[in-house]
Amino acid sequence: MNVMAKAEKKISSAFIYFFGSFGGILFGYDIGVMTGALPFLQADWHLENAASLVGWITSAVMFGAIFGGALAGQLSDKFGRRKMILMSAIVFMVFSVLSGVSPDMGEASAYYLIIVRMLLGLAVGAASALVPAYMSEMAPAKARGRLSGLNQTMIVSGMLLSYVVDFLLKDLPGEWAWRLMLGLAAVPALILFLGVLRLPESPRFLLRKGDEAQARKVLSYIRKNPAEIDQELASIKETAKEERQANQKTSWSTLFSGKYRYLVIAGVGVAAFQQFQGANAIFYYIPLIVQKATGQAASSNLMWPIVQGVILVVGSLVYMWIADKFNRRTLLMVGGAVMGLSFILPAVINWMMPNMNPMTIVVFLCIYVAFYSFTWAPLTWVLVGEIFPLAIRGRASGLASSFNWIGSWLVGLIFPIMTASMPQEAVFAIFGIICILGVIFVKTCVPETRGHTLEEIEEQGTNHGRVKASNPES
């Protein structure tokens, strides 16, 4: 068997993990690109005083992603993770180009761009649901935190790439700058498509469809020890057998049945809190935040997004270093507490010292981004990828992704409206309170998953009452 596995081995594990997580680049690029494109788009289409329209243009991708995540998660249970990632890359390419060639038709142009970006959001949402599920099913339990963290590294690398592209294009004529910024998103989508053509399907999906031979072959690419392959196959098959014996028919109501409710609430809750904590307000609007704080034009503040992007990338690398050394819950609670204080303290300082340096809030935002980058940012997707049982993984991952995008959409939509009607410090203080609520949620509702196989996590969820009674930290 070992000789046969070696003879069949044609795809390196590094290739699988790299392109398996590359979908995060698409996710990240489109999160970041509007940060630099928006000031030029506002000037080109005279939207400086149209806060609600600016909010809709910015958040349209997230609105589409709400449905893309749920739809892709459900379809991936039927057609496989790999095929749906390929489809997402195609959709992303098409609508990125259509965004860049938006016609100049007055007010109708804004509505065209909103609709196109909603459709683009279907692919962004799909990637956010599919990549964590695929990576968690390919990675061994002992390295799943680190390898699943590759998704976050790809996301923030995509964001940094978009910030750099925005900065390099900022001296072009305004009507060309924002179009190229949006249209160039098609390039990483094409790279993803070409890479995923060679990727194998998830072994867990293959076994679920009854193709044990192909599942064994895929595991031989990414597991060194034949005994480990046999053990993992046996574990997956046992779980699948129990599901067949129970004759389960999964539906949306199944997610909240007694057997699955605990883990679904935990995973979906963490995904929702990640966005309602306000991170994307920084990522989408940092030039406008600095403009409001200092009075400098937003289009001249495009170096700040790059600073944020570098912090995010460094943080993602820090996470990969510490991922499997600390409990998931510990990192989430420490990170959430510091993030909350980073948002609340500027409001407190401004109340005590009304003449506070306006850049103080930007310094605290950098502290927020630093802690977010190696805690909530990567761990949300690690948990989403590993916490849901096999029978509902695709559907539940899609639901978690949709709740994540609902938060992202609402933050992107209402932030410019909120800052137009109240001080920035007050807006961020509200997000700070949500961060603290997220810490309480993790403490009371989220189990520890580090070092457990996916099957052990499922068993832990099924018997969570007994487990928590004997081991409160779990």
- Is residue 5 included in any domain, yes or no? no
Name the residue with tokens 């895929």.
218
Picking from 188, 191, 186, 206, the residue whose alpha carbon sits closest to that of residue 134 is 206
Share of the chain above pLDDT 90, in %: 25
- How far is it, in rounded angstroms, from Cα 434 to Cα 66? 21
Which amino acid would we find at residue 48? Answer: E
Residue 312 has pLDDT above 50, yes or no: yes
- How far is it, in rounded angstroms, from Cα 60 to Cα 48? 18
Number of domains in the chain: 1
Residue 404 sits in a domain of what CATH number? 1.20.1250.20
pLDDT, one tens digit per residue, over 409-418 is 899 888 888 8
- Is residue 294 included in any domain, yes or no? yes
Please report the pLDDT score of residue 202 as a whole number.
Answer: 84
- How far is it, in rounded angstroms, from Cα 371 to Cα 363? 13
pLDDT, one tens digit per residue, over 166-208 is 999 988 887 889 999 999 999 999 999 999 998 888 888 888 8
pLDDT, one tens digit per residue, over 237-276 is 776 666 555 445 667 777 777 778 888 999 999 999 999 9
DSSP 454: H
Max avg pLDDT among 29-38, 267-276, 374-383: 267-276
- Is residue 431 included in any domain, yes or no? yes
Please report the pLDDT score of residue 283 as a whole number.
Answer: 85
- Is residue 317 included in any domain, yes or no? yes
Residue 225 has pLDDT above 80, yes or no: no
Q: Which domain holds residue 285?
A: 10-470
Picking from 433, 23, 430, 324, the residue whose alpha carbon sits closest to that of residue 189 is 23
The total number of residues shown for the chain amounts to: 474
- Is residue 219 included in any domain, yes or no? yes
pLDDT, one tens digit per residue, over 330-348 is 999 999 999 999 999 988 9
